[in-house]
Amino acid sequence: MNRRRFVGMLTGTAAAAAVGVPLIKGSGGSSSTGALLPSRRPLPDRYVRKLAVPRMLTPDPRDSDTDRYTLTQRCGQIEVFAGVATPVWGYDGEFPGPTIVSRRDRRTVVTHRNQLPVPVSVHLHGGHTPAGDDGYPTHLLFPEGFRGDMSMAGAMSHDRRDYTYPMHQRAATLWYHDHRMDFTGPSVWRGLAGFHLVTDDEEAALPLPVGDRDLPLMIVDRSFDVDGSLRYPSLDPTLLHTPGVTSRYAAGVLGDVVLVNGVPWPYAPVAAVRYRLRLLNASNARRYRLSLDPPAPMVQIGTDGGLLPHPLTHTAVELAPAQRFDVVVDFSRYTPGTRVVLRNEFGSGATSTVMRFDVGARASDPSSVPSTLSTDPRRSEPDRIRTFRFRRAGSAWTINGLPFRPDQPIVSVPLGATETWRLMTDFHHPVHVHLGSFQVLGRGLGGPGDYDTGLKDTLDLRPSEEAVIRVRFDDYRGRYLLHCHNLEHEDMAMMAAFDVV
Ligand code: C2O
Ligand code: CU
Ligand code: CU
């Protein structure tokens, strides 16, 4: 289906979908934009399965200046319900995909093979990546022998392609996921997401918790069918022809089962020492407000774009889809034997908890959180101001009134220019910018929010809000994306191309 037909279809279904935008209220008085998709079988019990940590990939040792990896995208299965296989689409068949660790300035090449029944596009989220390898939605990698519609493809390859990442960027918690035109939501829902961490000398010199005390935690909500398979309200379950979800879920799909690294409500045995938790909200639409019960401080050390200049102590952290918060929790504050629940204050019922930490014995702990973590990346004064409005129009989601057209950039940004962008919304829109990280200068008439500190690539914009960010695009020219990371909004056209010139 071509883009014109898709937009026509959106307009056509506008009347049918005019039921308003459901907002799920959280117990903390805040909310997610979306509708709850109930599972069709009893939910799994909480805290019976142990937390899994995604497998870490080791690079091909034959190369001296490049780390090379190969990932095969294929069907696999996970176990969410005891004794029942849940089919997933995974990188190497795994969900989450294996973790890749890159060193700053050391080139990383990931060869992706596609053995799924659909085309894919791989995006390294938070990556400072040349445009050709950024996972543009129409740069499709088809499975070998694919015989379906290829009209949406821009640059295309079959069977395999290399994604090359120069990695000229700070240490940070990045993630990779599918970014195919019109079908990102269901593809990520089925499992196409994994961690990609970047380390550097500045971070390695700090006494932060490392090794198995550095835990990546990918938090998602999902729903399940009677047979234990993932449930998602696609109009076209083959994910090949008609994009979008049934009208009830046009504002976002919210699941009723919380998975951490693919395990429902896991427990994690921890020693009574400090841990670094790399929190990633990889959900399609759900926002979380995470806190510990019994309470303990969560000391934020980093976010999307890497380490903060100084640690920040929170009693709770709020994460919109695609955002990352690196926090250090000192479990020695608890008596050994304490069971500490990671709560979601924005959830209700089953979604009000995420996982549990079971605090074990005291152990030696050489780690600490220094009061200075990184040098403040200075930004020059802005050259110009632009405004972007994120709004629903009929049943499409638009930016400045326009649905996404992959071949029609809406602005051109000079390479190296610092810009001020005003972002305005109607509902919750987690606004994501490719290539350039940004600083949040303020929200409404006030300053930045409690969770806006540091370099971000995704902003948690709340209903009827205006935020001002300062952004700069360095190093690479080409076509990049600005979009809402509520994946249902993204698939329903809330995305815009811009050119760095
Ligand atoms: Cu995480 Cu353009 O996406
Ligand atoms: Cu991205
Ligand atoms: Cu949105």
Q: Is 223 exposed, middle or buried (0-12, 13-18, 19+ CB in 10 A)?
A: buried
The protein residue whose alpha carbon is closest to atom 1 in ligand 1 is 125
Q: Following CA atoms 218, 452, 396, 391 in sequence, which dihedral angle do they give, to the nearest 10 degrees?
A: 160
Alpha helices in 131-280 (DSSP H): 184-189, 201-204
How does residue 20 score in pLDDT terms, banded at 50, 70 and 90? low
Query: Is the confidence at residue 347, as pLDDT, over 50?
Result: yes
Whether residue 213 has its Cβ less than 6 Å from ligand 1: no
CB-CB contact of 440 with 423 (8 Å): no
Distance (angstroms) between ligand 1 centre and the Cα of 125 equals 5
Query: Is the confidence at residue 25, as pLDDT, over 70?
Result: no
- When mean pLDDT is compared across 152-166, 201-215, 368-382, 467-481, the lowest value belongs to 368-382
What pLDDT, in 10s, does the model give residues 166-196?
Answer: 999 999 999 999 999 999 999 999 999 999 9
Q: Collapsing DSSP states into helix, strand and coil, what is residue 219?
A: strand
* For residue 382, cis peptide bond before it (omega within 30 degrees of 0): no
How many angstroms separate the CA atoms of 227 and 81, rounded? 10
What pLDDT, in 10s, does the model give residues 221-276?
Answer: 999 999 999 999 999 999 999 999 999 999 999 999 999 999 999 999 999 999 99
Whether residue 274 has its Cβ less than 6 Å from ligand 1: no
Distance (angstroms) between ligand 3 centre and the Cα of 249 equals 13
Q: Which one is predicted more confidently, 432 or 19?
A: 432
Instruction: Kindly report the average pLDDT of the chain as a whole number.
Output: 93
Q: Ligand 1 atom closest to Cα of 125?
A: 1
Distance (angstroms) between ligand 1 centre and the Cα of 179 equals 7
How many angstroms separate the CA atoms of 265 and 49, rounded? 8
How many angstroms separate the CA atoms of 109 and 83, rounded? 37
pLDDT above 70: percentage of residues in the chain = 94
SS3 content of the chain, % helix, strand, coil (to 5): 10, 45, 45
What's the distance, CA 7 to chain centroid?
Answer: 26
Q: Ligand 1 atom closest to Cα of 495?
A: 2
Burial per residue of 119-158, b for 16 or more beta-carbon CB atoms within 10 angstroms, e otherwise: bbbbbbbbbbbbbebbbbbbbbbbbeebeeeeebbeebee
Question: Would you tell me how many other CB atoms lie within 10 Å of the CB of residue 4?
Answer: 9
How many angstroms separate the CA atoms of 364 and 104, rounded? 30
Q: Which of 99, 269, 311 is nearest to 193 (CA)?
A: 99
pTM of the predicted protein model: 0.95
What pLDDT, in 10s, does the model give residues 218-233?
Answer: 999 999 999 999 999 9
What's the pLDDT at 152? 81
What pLDDT, in 10s, does the model give residues 389-424?
Answer: 999 998 789 999 999 999 999 999 999 999 999 999
Whether residue 123 has its Cβ less than 6 Å from ligand 1: yes
Distance (angstroms) between ligand 1 centre and the Cα of 123 equals 7
CB-CB contact of 414 with 433 (8 Å): no
Query: Is the confidence at residue 5, as pLDDT, over 70?
Result: no
Q: Which of 231, 314, 232, 229 is nearest to 279 (CA)?
A: 314
* For residue 294, cis peptide bond before it (omega within 30 degrees of 0): yes
How many angstroms separate the CA atoms of 486 and 53, rounded? 25
Q: What contacts 461, CB < 8 A, 6 or more positions away?
A: 390, 423, 425, 428, 429, 430, 431, 467
